[in-house]
Amino acid sequence: MQEKDNTRRKVLIGLTSAVGLSGLPFVATPFIAAWNPSARAKAAGASVTIDVSKMQYGQQIQVAWRKQPVFVIRQTKESLAGLKKTLPKLSDPNSEAIDEPYRGLNLTRSKSSEYSVIAGVCTHLGCSPKYHPEVEPKPWDASWSGGFFCPCHGSMFDMVGRVFKGVPAPTNLPVPPHFFNGSILTIGEDGGVA
């Protein structure tokens, strides 16, 4: 009788163990998944890639990176030549007041001599400046030579995002880390390094 009970006990222990082990993945999956970064965390730091080959000269496009607008502008030769005219109006023409990753590399303030890549958030109170590339008198500046105007409080920036003197915005528009691989622009990484 004892031997029968031992056999029965072993069968019950085996069946219970098998059922318990089959449920282990269901218990462990949420626990292990909790270690992974959330979709929100991934989106907060994920880089963005765009093909800029179809952009027209003088065109600005807006992309979102880290839930913030980033302006990409394909500069014309005329707009780059006009940057010298705005120098006397600028508060920080060489971006010395901010940590600028590509300072002195190109007139565009980016890794490209043709495209500017700048954060589209005014450094005053976080509004989004509007792109006005036309070289013509504007209500906010009779000698406007193109650039960005923030309608919230009147801050002005030139074609590459440098702030004018005497406006509420304290600094130039920041330049996010980026790099070009041919016509593919990656925003959020600097040459493949996150």
Q: Do 71 and 98 fall into the same domain?
A: yes
Is residue 125 in a domain?
yes
Number of domains in the chain: 2
Query: Are residues 31 and 96 located together in one domain of the fold?
Result: no
Q: What is the mean pLDDT of the chain?
A: 85
Give residue 66's domain range.
Answer: 47-187
pLDDT, one tens digit per residue, over 116-130 is 999 999 998 888 999
Question: 3-state DSSP call for residue 151?
Answer: coil
What is the pTM assigned to this prediction? 0.73
Residue 14 lies in a domain: yes
Note whether 75 and 66 are within 8 A (CB).
Answer: no
The predicted-structure confidence for 28-48, as pLDDT tens digits, reads as follows 666 566 655 555 555 556 789
Model pLDDT, residue 29: 65
- Is the pLDDT at 143 greater than 90, yes or no? no
Residue 176's CATH number: 2.102.10.10
Q: Where are the beta strands (DSSP E) in 7-104?
A: 48-51, 60-65, 68-74
In a domain, 194, yes or no: no
